[in-house]
Amino acid sequence: MARRKEDPRKKAMRKLMGDFLRENDISLKDGEDVNSLMREMMSALIEESLGGELEDHLGYSKYDQKQKETDNSRNGYSSKTMHTSYGDMDIHVPRDRKGEYEPQLVPKYATTLTKDMEGKIISMYAKGMTTGDIEAHMKDLYGVDISDSTISRITDRIMPQVKEWQERPLAEVYAVVYMDAIHYHVRSEGRIVKRAVYVAIGIDMAGRKEVLGMYVGENESAKFWLSIMNGLRNRGVEDILIVCVDGLSGFPQAMKAVYPDTEIQQCIIHQIRNCTKYVSYKEIKPLMADLKKVYAAPTEELALENLEEFGEKWNGKYPNIYKSWKDRWVTLSTYFKYPEEIRRMIYTTNAIEGFNRQLRKVTKARTVFPTDDSLLKLLYLATADITKKWTGRRQDWSRIRAQLEIYFEERLEGRNI
């Protein structure tokens, strides 16, 4: 077996540590002994580095007054407890008399030493743990006392990232965009209100799936949707071939105002759920069999014929079902014009519903959010965690893209995608 090549610095560090342990008669028996030693070493290293920072700031060393060219001077130390992966650690931070020195290694008001510690906290928060759960977990696992307010401050630091993510540039063309809403309770002006978070997921022309944005709103309206559509346009989205939605109020008008050529497909599954929820249990099977002849028909012409037959048979008991399908037929029937592969992609918003289910798993521990920002912060972290696995594309995408290019040849012509 070949001898391992050891880095000279690591070799020197190994010898230094070995000498230190022997000279001080230190034996390490378990993980707690290792953590204790690491805290002592880190404390010494940090205090030495902070002393060097202050020396550079003042321009002279501690015992070299001859080099002093400033009227500022050292002014003792202040104590500070830092939270680290090895447990809580007390350090002494040097001060200057004028208060001009700003520590760089351990900034003022910072209570966590390593990005690793903050990363652990943010990761637990993204998995749905409350600040109280994280506080208890950090105490049990690392022996670190971190208040829930400190945890909130650490997670609040990602808000600029949230804003940057919401405003990032997007692809020029999306083959399909799915939109749906998920609802939460938020405190607002001393009362609890219901907020809808509208999620947009897009599939670009390369078959890659991504969350385009999440928008917190009070209610659906054409004005609200217009602001979202204009936001997508401003971020570089020139065209959306097909958009799939759950019958959102005011959406078609807003979509046509910004993307007039975009095809709108209303979710068939949502339509079925909404119009059959009051059907008698005894009659749901035969009714669904007749309704399936409508939405599963091979052509739109046959679907319309079957819808009329459905109305003749069931209007006596459930007239609203036929009326609902007839009134929404323009947006319900879009998928009939496409081949089977594209139909399966657009007839339902299941792609976004699966994503929303994962969000609910993360947020289920919180019945009420204190602010809209706290809600958006958690959803962003959860989204980043969920979408790590979105690295590939559909296996049949090459065939689907070829069909899309045929159906949307004029709109795609001249675009470099």
280-304 pLDDT tens trace = 989 999 999 999 999 999 999 999 9
Residue 273 has pLDDT above 60, yes or no: yes
DSSP-assigned letter for residue 2:
P
Region 244-262: mean pLDDT is 85
Average pLDDT of the segment spanning 119-133? 77
Q: Please name the residues in contact with 357: beta carbons below 8 A apart, sequence gap of 6 or more.
A: none
Average the pLDDT over 9-25 and give the result.
70
Confidence category of residue 1, pLDDT binned at 50, 70, 90: very low
pTM summary value? 0.71
Q: How far apart are CA 158 and CA 380, in angstroms?
A: 9
Task: Among 10-24, 43-57, 227-241, name the most confident range.
Answer: 227-241
114, pLDDT greater than 60: no
Which stretches of 16-120 are assigned E, i.e. beta strand?
74-84, 87-96
**Residue 87 · residue 35 · CB < 8 Å:** yes
pLDDT score, position 65: 64
Task: Out of 168-177, 219-228, 298-307, pick the least confident.
Answer: 219-228
Model pLDDT, residue 105: 65
Is the Cα torsion angle 338, 339, 344, 345 positive or negative in sign?
negative
Q: How far apart are CA 86 and CA 34, in angstroms?
A: 9
Spatial CB neighbours of 287, under 8 Å, sequence gap ≥ 6: 276, 279, 314, 318, 321
How much is the average pLDDT of 302-316? 94
Q: Summarize pLDDT for 45-65 with one digit per residue, the tens.
A: 677 767 777 777 777 777 666
Q: Largest Cα–Cα distance in the chain? A: 104
| CA 405 – CA 90 distance, rounded (Å) | 64
| Identity of the highest mean pLDDT range in 17-21, 79-83, 86-90, 375-379 | 375-379
Is 115 a residue whose pLDDT tops 60? no
Segment 367-377 mean pLDDT = 86
Q: Partners of 211 in the beta sheet? A: 201
3-class DSSP state of 101: coil
What was the pLDDT predicted at 126? 77
User: How many beta carbons lie within 10 A of that of residue 216, not counting itself?
Assistant: 15
Report whether pLDDT(345) > 80: yes
pLDDT of residue 314: 94
Whether the predicted pLDDT of 235 surpasses 90: yes
Residues 190 and 192: their CA atoms lie apart, in Å, by: 7
Tally: H helices and E strands in the chain:
18, 7
H or E stretch covering 209: strand 209-217
- The pLDDT, as a whole number, for residue 93 is 84
pLDDT digits over 181-218, tens only?
Answer: 888 888 888 889 888 888 999 999 999 999 999 988 76
* Measured distance CA(17)–CA(11) in Å, rounded: 10
Yes or no: say if 262 and 240 are a contact pair by the CB < 8 Å rule: yes
DSSP state of 208: B
DSSP state of 67: G
Contact yes or no for 46/76 (Cβ under 8 A): no
DSSP structure class, residue 70: S
Please give the pLDDT value at position 60. Answer: 72
What is the average pLDDT score of the chain?
83
